[in-house]
Amino acid sequence: MVSNNAGLAKTVAKINMNFNQKILKTQQEKNSLLCIGLDSDVNRIPEFLKKSKNPQLEFNSLIIQATKDLVCAYKLNLAFYEETGNDGMQALEKTLELIPEEVIKIADGKRGDIGNTAQKQADTLFKHFNFDAATVNPYMGFDAIEPFINYSEKGIFILCITSNPGSEDFQHLSFSGKPLFEHVALKAKKWNTKNNIGLVAGATHIGELKKLRTLLPEMPFLIPGIGVQKGDLEKTIKYGCSTDGYNAIINVGRSIIFPAETKNFQENIRKSAEKYSTEINSYRNKYYK
């Protein structure tokens, strides 16, 4: 009886948590900041999976089996599933069912639109697919992302400083004494009344990441750009975590999911995920313990 009550209390506590508390709890329980990007490009799926009924789903299933104990999150970039039509939508739905409940499921669609459209985007990702979080684009302003924020138990990652070269075009433009990405960060802080907002900050912009951490010491940052995009992992951890060494969600996609050698596919994927996870934790120990 006692253990049943304790179990119930734990479940109720989890239900009552807001998203930013949830992500922290998952990272603490799993001792992991690693997020694997399931950007399952149908053209790069290994030959031995191409004959299966739904190659993307099979591919994801093998990756999840091999890595689910090592990650705090998986991020699925929707473009890779939209490309394959009905099969892609089915792969998305079924992949989400394969991910353990405690692991955070992030929809990366960089959404945001006029209010009634944004509402549909949020309902699709949070109600239909049951993702835990989504990336959104702040360019259209508050009402374009408000429907996402209103799902208070879900997470919203607002693009702030992106990892790509084109981030220079607008995000660094200065007005009222600050670059645009800092204005975005300050708005995110103001809008974070439900404690479910985070920022996207690319690992290829360390100076900006450092600045963002001083502005928002505890906010979760989704940090892509490690691996193929050549972000500096050590500096990302040094400057990207909250004071206790958490709240950075380090996304690695292609460098993990497409190993050079597909012969021992799951073994290779796991080795690579372990390598990233170990390296991340060694820098956390160096800078935060």
Residues near ligand OMP (CB under 6 A) are 37, 39, 77, 108, 110, 135, 162-164, 200, 202, 224-225, 227-229, 251-254
The verdict on whether 14 is a catalytic residue reads no
Backbone phi and psi for residue 276, each to the nearest 5 degrees, phi listed first: -65, -45
* Closest approach of ligand OMP to the CB of residue 103, in Å: 17
Nearer to ligand OMP, 158 or 241 (CB): 158
Q: Which CA distances in Å does 52 have to 59, 62, 116, 185?
A: 10, 13, 39, 44
Query: What are the backbone dihedrals phi and psi of residue 187, each rounded to the nearest 5 degrees, phi first?
Result: -65, -40
d(C-alpha 241, C-alpha 238), whole Å: 7
Residue 193, burial from CB neighbour count under 10 angstroms (0-12, 13-18, 19+): exposed
Element (H, E) at 189: helix 180-191
For the bound state, the minimum distance from the C-beta of residue 206 to ligand OMP, rounded and expressed in Å, comes to: 14
Beta bridge partner(s), residue 167: none
User: Least CB distance from residue 44 to ligand OMP, whole Å?
Assistant: 11
Signed CA dihedral, 269, 78, 52, 48: sign only: negative
Residue 218 CB, shortest distance to ligand OMP, in Å, is 20
Spatial contact of 242 and 254, defined as CB atoms under 8 Å apart: no
| Pick 8 or 170: Cβ nearer ligand OMP | 170
Cα separation, 37 vs 75, in Å, equals 5
Residues 6+ apart with CB under 8 A from 211: 182
Rg (CA), the chain: 19
Parallel, antiparallel, or unpaired for β 178-179 and 174-175? antiparallel
Structure tokens of 128?
A: 């239909």
Nearer to ligand OMP, 245 or 253 (CB): 253
As measured in angstroms, the least distance from the Cβ of 229 to ligand OMP is 5
> Which amino acid is it at 175?
F
Of the pair 168, 244, the CB lying nearest ligand OMP is at 168
Nearer to ligand OMP, 179 or 285 (CB): 179
Give the pair of three-digit tokens for residue 103.
Answer: 């692991």
30, 105, 110, 154: the catalytic one is 110
Which residue's CB is nearer to ligand OMP, number 8 or number 173? 173
Give the nearest distance from C-beta 28 to ligand OMP in angstroms: 23
Residues labelled catalytic:
110
